[in-house]
Structure 1
Amino acid sequence: MIGRLAESPETLDGFLRLSGLFEAATLDPLAREVVIMTVATRNACHVCVAMHTGKLTALDADGELVAALREQRALGDERLECLRAFTLAVMDGAGAVRDEVFNAFLEGGFTRRNALEVVLGVGAYTLSTFANRMTRAPLDERLAPFAWSAEEIA
């Protein structure tokens, strides 16, 4: 994946900077992975889904949570489902989120800062998922145990 992005050093640098900034956000690591997996499955990026399934596994995330994210299903954890729904609303509305959705996000324990961090995550991983799909990035062998296909959600 990185090798393919490196064909455009600016694109690679942009992704690395954006993803690094997202990793430094105030959202906790599990919440960041929910945002990433929501973007990755919505954009059908097999590389990102596999990679971030691995990251969720390393975080000892609940197996049902991982399965639900991979299958684009509602999450059993109310707070994380609020985050997933907000991320989808950001993507679906190109940032124009209805007041009731925004208010539900805030009532779910998140902040206005977190909302902007979701936008950062959506931007970083939209760049990654689009580039991976466009360049037909292959799945690295080490990610084979976490392989995913959009057909899983069909």
Structure 2
Amino acid sequence: MPSHAFTDHTPDSAPAASRRLMEATAQRLGYLPAPVGRLAASPHLLDGFLKLSGLFEATTLSPVEREVVILTIATRNACHVCVAMHTAKLQAMDAHPDLVAALRAREPLDDARLEAIRVFALDVLATAGAVPDAALEAFLAHGYTVQNALEVVLGIGTYTMSTLANRLTGAPLDEQLRPFAWEEEGQEVVV
């Protein structure tokens, strides 16, 4: 099915079970992101993503560590909407511009602890969770815990769902996020 087959729902046009979720998102962000309008076609997916992202936000990982996981998944899965949205979030958190640039470019991070979580997330993905003992030990050696390792898995699952859904629906980049547009090497930015 072509991505143009997905409707840009508003709370008035969305399935009834999505309306409350859309209104709460718009109230929290100050606008209704286009991806949310498209995901609203499946109230279950929209509700699941919002619940899982809320759970991920409540983990013991720091806000910056969570964003490292998210941007690692977003760039790996080439979700231009997610990269822009989480670049904006890091900027609002006053994250160092070099950190943001490295994450967007899929390059190693200068901060050894943040690099450890980035590498660990990629290891979990590359091995479908069957991370070698040495990789887990390297992650733990940077002060992370086994709880943190499982929280990384939660972030991977949550943002894999989001990135795949956004790509499937062809979610456009909202005007508010255009300053943070991202282009994967060799591909055009979809706006």
Residue matched to 1:135: 169
Rg (Cα) greater in structure: 2
Residue matched to 1:53: 87
What SS does the aligned partner of 1:10 have?
A: helix
1:31 aligns with 2:62: no
Residue matched to 2:12: none
TM-score, normalised to structure 1's length?
A: 0.98
Residue matched to 1:20: 54
Which runs of 4 or more aligned residues in structure 1 lie more than 2 Å from their structure 2 counterparts after TM superposition? none
Runs (5+) with no aligned partner, structure 1: none
TM-score, normalised to structure 2's length?
A: 0.79
Work out which structure has the larger RCO, using CA pairs closer than 8 Å and 6 or more positions apart in sequence. 1
Q: Aligned pair in 2 of structure 1 residues 98, 77: CA closer, same or farther (>3 Å)?
A: same
Aligned residues: 153
Partners of 1:109 and 1:37 in 2: how far apart? 21
Partners of 2:186 and 2:147 in 1: how far apart? 33
How far off its partner does 1:99 sit? 0.5
Runs (5+) with no aligned partner, structure 2: 1-34
How far off its partner does 1:149 sit? 1.3
Identity of aligned residues (%): 65
**Root mean square deviation, CA, Å:** 1.0
Q: Which has the higher helix share?
A: 1
